[in-house]
Structure 1
């Protein structure tokens, strides 16, 4: 059965997301791979590749991006160490309401599924991390490594967004200034994710590790570990109309590769020239790896006071704070609605 949109959510992006719950059809497919080697001298070539990928597919993968694989592995090891803590210890760092900082367990409910994602996460949003860092005796080096990783991911994200800025007719540093790490209203987020191990019996068909959704930021950057699959993309320029016939491609995880996608915030900012792409993390099938799955995601989200409006003015201006708050409130709930 194809879900139909409701008026339950204020943003059109959220109304559309209620139609994405079907399993769809899985097929083989490739995600464009873009190398950032010699970025300054190859800027025009890289911009062409990014624009084509972001308008045709909406997803792309970055290689030769300058973040060493060993540093990515170190961040994964510390993320796993945090999630291995007893629940009562993790509960000392609770998610701060409306601020996207802290730990949550199975509290994210997608409009597409109305069931809780089978995962836990720890959000790092710099201005709101007071009292949220585990100390050296709990997870040694956690704060130092994650702050460095956040900064390195931000740098790569701003490189990519600078290419989109110029193609849209903005100044090269337009999005860098909109994501200023030094400001108290900075709200880009590094998210550590732990998808729960699955039992050997056939899982409940209504459950997802992460239900189908589009991201609500400008740019998402996901780091995966080899052998821990499940991320799937429904590529193409238009998300509407496919229903349960939607086609899904699996994104095979590789060490050192950053999987990126355009989010709703950038889609709106581009007057819909760049398309936010639907994706999900499905449950393992029989015979597939069923152990825990970890990923690291960096979300480039404009500072709260920045006003979002595209060069053609297709949509009324909205502050990044108001936009993000509506999306967070729609995706986090104590329980799924009946």
Structure 2
């Protein structure tokens, strides 16, 4: 594992002190959803109750692309990619080559972190000027309705943007699992960018050149079971500001919903598959 040496900021048992310089944003601290449920599984605080809910309809699965064939330049898979991006903005990839052991390790690592006592997790809380760390992102007011999740957000690339103080050393294998999984996601992203370049009538490395040094981040989400799922949202409706988002879902839970032709549709997980979301940056490049 590649490790970057840096001075650790001051840490107490609640929050990491602000680093010098600009951070990645600002988010107000809020109570842990996991702890709210642990104390009272029937409690749904008012700040999590939405004035509206999304009506989710049953539908066929989103497009599925064989990544191993796409990587070999198969025209049929390239056309499937084109249609998936044009009509959906989402697709699942199978045969992506990520070893099962790495998928297991990253899921186990994430579970290990959220199983820590609250005071231990708070040692990795977001600084007031940063979105890296443990907490909830994009909370900008005390009146804002909250997403019903806890998360930990980590910058991966470029390596000089990493803050190792947010990687919990008390969780066995955490840093190595994150490193291995991130390398695999980077490999898949570069291949997808190459195929997008060809579909956009560029040479294979066109989009990669436009991006310059790739930035990569990882967000681990925890969604506690809710006694009133009709009242809350795990994540508010949004589009991703990135180029490409790759999601590893729980194989047994259909939680992700996407908007397609004005309707909200569930994305049924395929075991060991990855979900790909085309972000706003690719949309801009396409224009």
Aligned equivalent of 1:101, options 132, 136, 139: 132
Q: Residue 57 of structure 2 aligns to a residue in which SS?
A: strand
Aligned equivalent of 2:154, options 124, 149, 152: 124
**In structure 2, how many angstroms separate the alpha carbons of the residues matched to 1:158 and 1:125?**
18
Matched, 1:258 2:258: no
Q: TM-score, structure 1 length as denominator?
A: 0.62
Aligned equivalent of 2:257, options 232, 255, 260: 232
Can you list the C-alpha shifts for 1:142-194, whole angstroms capped at 9, x where unaligned?
Answer: 101101101101110111111111222333123334556xx5xx532111111
Q: Residue 213 of structure 1 aligns to a residue in which SS?
A: coil
Aligned equivalent of 1:192, options 220, 229, 234: 220
If each structure's strand is expressed as a fraction of its own residues, which one has the higher value? Answer: 1
**In structure 1, how many angstroms separate the alpha carbons of the residues matched to 2:208 and 2:54?**
37
Q: TM-score, structure 2 length as denominator?
A: 0.72
User: What is aligned with 2:8?
Assistant: none
Q: Say if 1:59 and 1:235, in contact at 8 Å, map to a contact too.
A: no
If each structure's helix is expressed as a fraction of its own residues, which one has the higher value? Answer: 2
5+ residue gaps, structure 1, are 1-20, 237-245, 272-338
Q: Residue 198 of structure 1 aligns to a residue in which SS?
A: coil
**In structure 2, how many angstroms separate the alpha carbons of the residues matched to 1:33 and 1:94?**
37
Measured after TM superposition, the shift of residue 44 of structure 1 is 3.6
Can you list the C-alpha shifts for 1:17-47, whole angstroms capped at 9, x where unaligned?
Answer: xxxx652352323211000124443354332
Structural mapping, 1:1-338, within 5 Å: 22-96=53-127, 100-105=131-136, 107-109=137-139, 114-126=144-156, 127-135=161-169, 138-177=170-209, 186-199=214-227, 202-203=228-229, 205=231, 207-236=232-261, 246-271=262-287
Q: Say if 1:108 and 1:116, in contact at 8 Å, map to a contact too.
A: no
RMSD (Å) for aligned C-alpha atoms: 2.6
Q: Say if 1:220 and 1:260, in contact at 8 Å, map to a contact too.
A: yes
5+ residue gaps, structure 2, are 1-51
**In structure 1, how many angstroms separate the alpha carbons of the residues matched to 2:264 and 2:286?**
25
Measured after TM superposition, the shift of residue 79 of structure 1 is 0.5
Equivalent residue pairs, number: 232
